[in-house]
Amino acid sequence: MENIKTNKRRDFIILSIAFMLILMMGSAYAFFTYSKIGSNSYAINLRNASLIINYTQGTRVMNLNSAYPLSDGYATSNLDKLSYIDFAVSGKPVSDGTNMNYEIYLTENENNTLNTDYVKLYLTDEEGNVIVEPTLYSALNATSYEKSPNGKVLYSGLETSEFSKNYRLYMWIDSNYSQNDVSQTFGFKVNLYAYSGTTDLVYENLNSDINDSTCKPTKVGEDGTIYLTGTNSCVDFNYVNYSNNLWRVVAINPDKSLKLVTEEPVTTYSGETSTTKENVYDYLNTEFSNTLNNRQRMLTATNTNEEVTLLTTKEYNEIKGEEATESYINTDNDWLLASDNSTATVNSTGEVIDNSENVGIRPSINLKSESRIVSGDGTKANPYQIAS
C-alpha cells in the first residue's frame, strides 16, 4: 500500500488482485486465472473516515466452454461459464456527512500482447444487478489518480455514511477479435484509490456558474424549465462525463433534474425507414441504454416515460436561441430531433430540415437532481465526473 499526501486530499492505492486472460496459440482454448498479491484485506485511512477493501477468490476459476471470442449477449446470458473475481468495498466515517470518494481502477500488465480493444469487462453487484455494462477496456476513462497515468476507472463511488458494497468482475474476449495462430495474453490489476473530496450536487454547481456568467445563458420555458442558451464561449461549463460519453447539460427541469444530450452523435442512421421515431427510440432504449452505467440509480424518466430520448424540436428551438449557427448545441454533423410522432433533422448551420440521407443520433437523458460530483469543473477539458 502506498500513502501519498497532497494539499487537498490523501491518496491511496491498493494493489491486490492480478487478473489474467490467456488466449492460446491457434485459439485451442481460452481461460481465466488470477493470482493474489499480499493480504486479501486492506484498510484505508482518510482524515475523518476509513475504508476497507476485501478480496475473495473467484468461486469459479474455469475454462471457457468456447474457444472463440464471445458476443456480449452470449457472455451475459452464460455468466456461469465465465470466471470472475469477487471483492467488497466498505467504509465508515467518523460522522455522517463525511466525504468518501473512491475509484476502482485497473492497470494492465506490461507484458500484455492482446490489444485492449478486444477485452470486455462487466461488473455486477452481489445480487447480479449490473453496475458497469459490457465495456471495452480501451473505452474506460482515465483514473484521476495522477501517479497512475495509464490507470483506467472501472467504477467510481461517493458515500457520506457507513456503507458496504460487494462487486463481481467478469472478463471475456470481444466478438470483434480475429483469431490467428499467435498466442496472446492480457492481464490487469485491480486497484483502489480513495480520497476526501467534494459532495457538491451537479445542479448546484451548474446553477452557480449560470448566476456568475456575464452573458445570461438561460431562457425559462412555460413549464419553468431553465434552458441553457448561447455560444460555446458563453456556455463552457456544462460538460458531464457519464458512461464513457461526453454530454452537455442543456436544461434544468422544474424538479431540478438535468437534461443532457451527447456532445456528438453516438451513431449514424441513413434512409427514410431507419429514422422513424419508433425505430430510433427502440435503439435508444435497448442497445444504447444498455451501455449506461447504473441507470436506474442515475436517471429519471422523461416526459414520455422513457429513459433515453431525442431532443424535441420545441426543446431545440428554446436552446438554440436567436443565433442558431453560433449555438453551443450544434455540431458539424446533421443530427436528429423528435417532432411529434416523427423526426426532423438539424443541419450543420442549425436549421431544422426534413431528414437527410445520413443523420447522427444524439441521445438525451435526464440526470437525477441528487447526482453528485466526484471531480471536474464542468469544462470540456475537465468535465464533471459523477458518482455512479
Q: Which of the four pLDDT bands, split at 50, 70 and 90, describes residue 8? A: very low
Instruction: Give the burial string for 229-265 (b: 16+ CB within 10 Å, else e).
Output: bbeeebbbbbbbbbbbbebbbbbbbeeebbbbbbbeb
Among 7-21, 42-56, 284-298, which range has the highest average pLDDT?
A: 284-298
Residue in the block written with cell 451527447: 262
Supply the pTM of this predicted model.
0.63
Average pLDDT for 356-384: 89
3-class SS of residue 208: helix
3-class SS of residue 38: coil
Count other C-beta atoms under 10 Å from residue 182's C-beta.
Answer: 11
Q: What is the DSSP string of 125-144?
A: ETT--EEEEEEEGGGSPBPS
20-30 pLDDT tens trace: 554 433 322 23
Q: What is the pLDDT of residue 179?
A: 75
Average pLDDT for 301-321: 87
Average pLDDT for 168-191: 82
Q: Is the pLDDT at 247 greater than 90, yes or no?
A: yes
Q: What is the pLDDT of residue 360?
A: 93
Q: What is the pLDDT of residue 77?
A: 93
Average pLDDT for 35-58: 52
